[in-house]
Amino acid sequence: MSVKQAHAPQLEGELVGRGRRDGNRLFKEWYAELDAAAAAGDPTAYVFVMGSAAEVLKAFDLNLVFPEINSLQMAVRKVSLDYLNKAEDYGYSTDVCGYVKADVGMHLDARKHPNGRIPKPSIVVATNMCNTYVKWVEIWQRMYGCKVFVLDIPGQRGIGWSTEPGSEQFENDRRYVQSQLEELIEACVAVTGRPFKIERLQENLAHVNRMAADWKAVLRLNQNIPAPFNAMADGLTYMGVLSAYRGTETGARYMAELREEMEHKVRLGIGTIAEERFRLHGVGPACYPYFRRFLELFQDWGAVFVSTEYLAYAGGGLDLGIQFDVERPLESLAEQLLITGRRSMSNMFFSQDQLADTVRDWKADGIVYHSVKSCRTVSTGMADSREYLTRIKDVPSLFVESDLVDPRIWSEAQFKNRIDAYFEALGARKSAALVAAKG
Amino acid sequence: MAVAVRSELGAILERCAGLAEDVTYPSVRRWREDHPGGHAVGHFQVYFPEELIHAAGMLPVTLMGAGSRLEAKQADSHIGSFICSICRTSLELGFSGRVGFLDAFYTTPICDVARNLAGIWGRNFKGMTAEILYLPQNANAKQAVPYLRNEYARVLAELERIAGRPIEEADLRRSIGVYNENRRLLRELYRFKRETPWLLSTTEAYVLAKAGTVMPREDHNEILRTALAEIPNRDGRRQDRVRVVFEGGFCEQPPLDMLQLIEEACYIVDDDLLIGMRWIVDDVPETGDPLFALAESYLERSTYSSVQHDDRKPKEEMLLRRLAESGAQAVILAAAKMCEPGLDEQVAYSKTLEEKKIPFLLLDFEEKMTAFERMRMEVETFVESILFD
């Protein structure tokens, strides 16, 4: 499995859209591998997009299953309700996270996913970056008796609180994380029967270094006008590869080629729509059961999501780049997990100042907050963060609610009304600003 | 509360019930008046090492929502729609100024709504420390105790800053002693509930315990000691009633009316209400490093709840143990609306109970609910189904 290796100048038609095409292909190949692993009974780890510990798990050649991606795929393929119903019939409340329920429904259906059969878990790893992860892994533990490992990454304690590597506080947290990584390695040895080879971990870290540097560059290329990709739409494919192929040569090369494509588009001024009238920053995921419609409601107004918080925290915290010191792999992994994991959590719990910076740097006209019933991690503080940014930073924003997997929560008429009203107001604001600028 | 009451106990219960339900926090306000320059520190459910606050000479106050006694008028515009009531009304306590007497507010990573409270609190209530105490979520990690010991030291340093004075080890040991006594008394209270539920109802035990969340523990110990001395003298008569465990009150608290209606149909002989007060199940060592002792006790001398994963405490097994130790024959499996941990656990518990052929009743509740007719019918039907099975 490898991304197209040709680096010679290509026809523009081949280069533009390559990231999406290759991303889709890699995804199909990844699901095919999982299907084969299910048939062969190969050792498999279930992990989450935030804090997957892929660097360690891939050192043991464990297949990685991302249940969040599985549930998202069910929603995009418009079959999530079937799975949600199975879980609710089993006993899960309508108020339980839809990602969890779609996944439970799939397990109750012998792990038959629309993209292929999913292997049983040998080990499951949950970070505390979303508390529901911890409840989720308990479900698999009960179903399969698999090893559960909670990787605890202590987050930011309060507004304005930060620590730097080397400080006493940081070192206390780092020692705790590093010790857990050592225990995770012991657990992987026990589960797979395979020895731990430090050089494999070092290789994986080096791949992530390259991947993260290019991912950071890709995200920043969207600061250009027009933005070369839609962070809410195209970004989802890119981020999927980022998670599934983290720590691999394939993933690192994909990201390098994606960067090449985006640089090319920026050079030629190629955007995602004919006229980029509004630039938006998105907080929260999209409504995937109605993904196309969700995006159209914004695109119809000439709006492009130039950035999203989702790409930051659900992208495994690689948005600001990452540089592992491969000469001291475990210590460095612990440090970076702490730094990136903490930042991902801060993007949800203490997001206000960082949001204002993103709006400024990505030249966004406003923020769209999409609160989703399933995910209280990202949704709880949104309304307050919005109120704060409006009051303190005068950032115009839209607040809408639905779900990321449950089609029953979606109300298109309500969405459209609010979106239309928002853009009318945003348009008037931009016009007024232009008039004022002209003096 | 059908049991006839003699002597002081009636007055104590009346006072505690008043404190448990009063969202103006009269006991805290009185304490602030009596302690000019004193400080009060609030914390959200479920567990917080109050000994740290107590050792600083401050008053710990548990914030656990406001039931139906406060409408979340301002909080609703600061929090999403699909959020539990306890977090809404806890925020409203802040927005309405009712807990303006607090100098700090702590929450813990019991769930992501709770973690978000620190950000919301910090953005809106300036001048007040608003932080997350990061209790370890890998309870099985070898370094969990040392990590937590240092996390407690971090909190202690912030409390010292607020207090404007150092907190000595001797202060901490003294506080641990006071809280050990409190936990012993609460265990005794629960022994009455288990062994002689006709002498002490759950509603009574609940208000007696809850009063401790808004007053100094020394005062609470005095109340409990007096109550415990009186309870054996009550003239309640044993009845042939179904004995149940109530599970699902670890964070958002069910309305008193709900507990009462359950008790009208059966004895609740054990529960997880206010479990944070009883989280540590044995005495915390009063020798050695007090922060280490507290950290170790959180992990090694503790009960279970939906908001902690610990491989050593499989929750279904722990529930079955609670059932066996209390001699209960059935379980009320409650969960607060919109509570992810509680609702997830409800399914796991119900599957185990089904497998073990132990009767159970699923109840969803909200702290602010006021209509109970349907629930009453469900409980009565459940109890009758056991009696006539």
In the block, tokens 């199975």 appear at A86
Mean pLDDT of A241-254: 96
Mean per-residue pLDDT, B262-281: 98
Q: Is A344 on the interface with B (CB under 8 A)?
A: no
Q: Is B309 on the interface with A (CB under 8 A)?
A: yes
Residues of chain A with Cβ-Cβ distance to B347 below 8 Å are 90-92
- 8 Å CB contact between B1 and B37: no
Q: Specify the pLDDT at position A347.
A: 85
Per-residue model confidence as pLDDT tens digits over A262-284: 999 999 999 999 999 999 999 99
Contact B152, B284 (CB under 8 A): no
- CB–CB contact B348 A139 (8 Å): yes
Closest CA to B101 of B63, B75, B134, B74: B63
Which pLDDT tens digit goes with each residue over B140-162?
A: 999 999 999 999 999 999 999 99
- Identify the pLDDT of residue A210: 97
In angstroms, the CA B82 to CA B314 distance is 29
Kindly determine whether residue A100 and residue B344, on different chains, have CB atoms separated by under 8 Å.
yes
Residue A395 has pLDDT above 70, yes or no: yes
**How near does any CA of chain B get to the CA of A155, in Å?**
7
Q: pLDDT higher for B5 or A230?
A: A230
State whether A131 and B109 contact (CB < 8 Å): yes
Tell me what pLDDT residue A11 has.
Answer: 57
Reported confidence tier of residue A353, pLDDT bands at 50, 70, 90: confident
Q: A123-127, B328-332, B385-389 — which is least confidently predicted? A: B385-389
Nearest beta carbon to residue B82 from set A92, A134, A376: A376
Residue B296: its pLDDT value, please? 98
User: Tell me, what's the pLDDT at A126?
Assistant: 97
Mean pLDDT computed over A418-438: 92
Q: What does the pLDDT look like over B73-103, one tens digit per residue?
A: 999 999 988 999 999 999 999 999 999 999 9
Which chain A residue has the Cα nearest residue B76?
A: A383
Model pLDDT, residue B5? 43
Residue A398: per-residue pLDDT: 97
State pLDDT tens for residues A166-218: 999 999 999 999 999 999 999 999 999 999 999 999 999 999 999 999 999 99
Contact between A409 and A373 under an 8 Å Cβ cutoff? The reply is yes
Residue A366 tokens, joined: 């406003």
Minimal Cβ distance to A152: which of B129, B138, B335: B138
A1 has a pLDDT exceeding 90: no
The mean pLDDT of A14-23, rounded to a whole number, is 94
**Does residue B323 contact residue B240 with C-beta atoms inside 8 Å?**
no
Is B337's Cβ below 8 Å from some Cβ in A? yes
CB contact under 8 A, B138 and A371: no
pLDDT at residue A9 in the model: 47
**Residue B20: its pLDDT value, please?**
87
Query: Does residue A346 have a pLDDT over 80?
Result: yes
- Across the interface, which of B124, B137, B151 has its CB nearest the CB of A150? B137
Under a CB-based contact definition with an 8 Å cutoff, are residues B284 and B302 in contact? no
A100 part of contact set with chain B, CB < 8 Å: yes
pLDDT at A12: 61
Distance separating alpha carbons of residues B186 and B211, to the nearest angstrom: 12
Give the confidence band of B389 by pLDDT, cuts at 50, 70, 90. Answer: confident
Range among A4-8, A378-382, B364-368 with highest mean pLDDT value: B364-368
Q: What is the 3-state secondary structure (H, E, C) of chain B?
A: CCCCCCHHHHHHHHHHHHHHHCCCCHHHHHHHHHCCCCCEEEEECCCCCHHHHHHCCCEEEEECCCHHHCCCCCHHHHCCCCCCHHHHHHHHHHHCCCCCCEEEEEECCCCHHHHHHHHHHHHHCCCCEEEECCCCCCCCCCCHHHHHHHHHHHHHHHHHHHHCCCCCHHHHHHHHHHHHHHHHHHHHHHHHHHHCCCCCCHHHHHHHHHHHHHCCHHHHHHHHHHHHHHHHHCCCCCCCCCEEEEECCCCCCCCHHHHHHHHCCCEEEEECCCHHHHCECCCCCCCCCHHHHHHHHHHHCECCCCCCCCCCCCHHHHHHHHHHHHCCCEEEEEEECCCHHHHHHHHHHHHHHHHCCCCEEEEEECCCCCCCHHHHHHHHHHHHHHHCC
A156 close to B (CB below 8 A):
yes
Digit-coded pLDDT (tens) for A51-82 = 899 999 999 999 999 999 999 999 999 999 99
Q: Among B85, B123, B292, B313, which would you mutate to test the A interface (most chain A Cβ atoms within 10 Å of its Cβ)?
A: B123
Say if residue B2's pLDDT is above 70.
Answer: no
Confidence at A6, pLDDT banded by 50, 70, 90: very low
Q: With bands split at pLDDT 50, 70 and 90, how would you rate the model's confidence at A314?
A: confident
Spatial CA neighbour of A124 closest among A108, A98, A105, A142: A142
Q: Is A408 on the interface with B (CB under 8 A)?
A: no
A320: pLDDT strictly greater than 90: no
Return the structure tokens found at A280: 């938006």
Q: Is B71 on the interface with A (CB under 8 A)?
A: no
Mean of all residue pLDDT scores within chain B: 96
Percent over 90 (pLDDT), chain B = 95
Residue A352: predicted pLDDT? 84
* B81, B87, B89, B91: CA torsion to nearest 10: -100
- Nearest residue on chain B to A342, alpha-carbon basis: B134
Task: Please tell me the predicted confidence (pLDDT) of residue A13.
Answer: 64
Asked whether the predicted pLDDT for residue A8 surpasses 50, the reply is: no
Question: CB-based contacts of B388: which residues, under 8 Å, 6+ apart?
Answer: none
Q: Does B345 touch chain A (CB under 8 A)?
A: yes
Window A:272-311, CB contacts with B under 8 Å: none
Mutate to test the interface with A, among B121, B333, B340, B343 (most CBs of A within 10 A): B340
pLDDT digits (tens, 9 = 90+) for A103-141: 999 999 999 999 999 999 999 999 999 999 999 999 999
pLDDT digits (tens, 9 = 90+) for B103-135: 999 999 999 999 999 999 999 998 999 999 999
Of the two residues B6 and A291, the one the predictor is more confident about is: A291
